[in-house]
Amino acid sequence: MRRKDREIVDFSKIEKIISLAGYLHLGMYDEGYPYVVPLHYGYFFENKKPVFFVHCAKEGHKLECIKKNNNVFVEIDRAVNIIAADTPCKYGAEYECVMCRGKATVLTDEEEKLKGLKLLMKTQTGKDFEIPAVSAETVTVIRIDVDSYSAKARVK
């Protein structure tokens, strides 16, 4: 990271960014080009590394990309504030972000899918829901295990 003065190493701050953002951008490899989609997510931490769960339809381009190459990149950000100035080039932004490299796995185990869907709903709503098994049958749930991550912020 070039701007070490903006790097976040405090785990509790990283956890807070992930808990408040609400959506992530999932980057995949698509025949020589990046392919990025925004997705709502659920998560938990394992050995201080986030594990994300996202869901999608049972078929589609995202799944084709993951089948070919399950290396993914996750970007999570929060725009905090615009910093106004007298001239355009002096404007700026306050932000917080977390960038993760990891592996995506399409889940087949019903219990694991239900766990992912419960975490997704908890993250998005703050509520604990019982997810009926039939719901897990109608969607694809993807688990993203993070190998490495970094975080940074510009907040006054």
pLDDT for position 27: 98
Distance, CA of 54 to chain centre: 8
pLDDT for position 13: 95
Which residues of the chain are modeled with pLDDT < 70?
A: none
The DSSP code sequence of 5-70 is GGB---HHHHHHHHHHH-EEEEEEEETTEEEEEEEE-EEEEETTEEEEEEEE-SSSHHHHHHHH--
pLDDT for position 143: 99
C-alpha 80/C-alpha 83 separation (Å) is 10
Choose among 73, 70, 97, 92: nearest CA to 81.
92
C-alpha 5/C-alpha 154 separation (Å) is 9
- The reported pTM is 0.92
Which domains can be identified in the chain, with CATH numbers? 4-145 (2.30.110.10)
C-alpha 31/C-alpha 71 separation (Å) is 13
pLDDT for position 156: 74
pLDDT for position 7: 87
pLDDT for position 101: 98
Q: Tokens standing for 87?
A: 């001239």
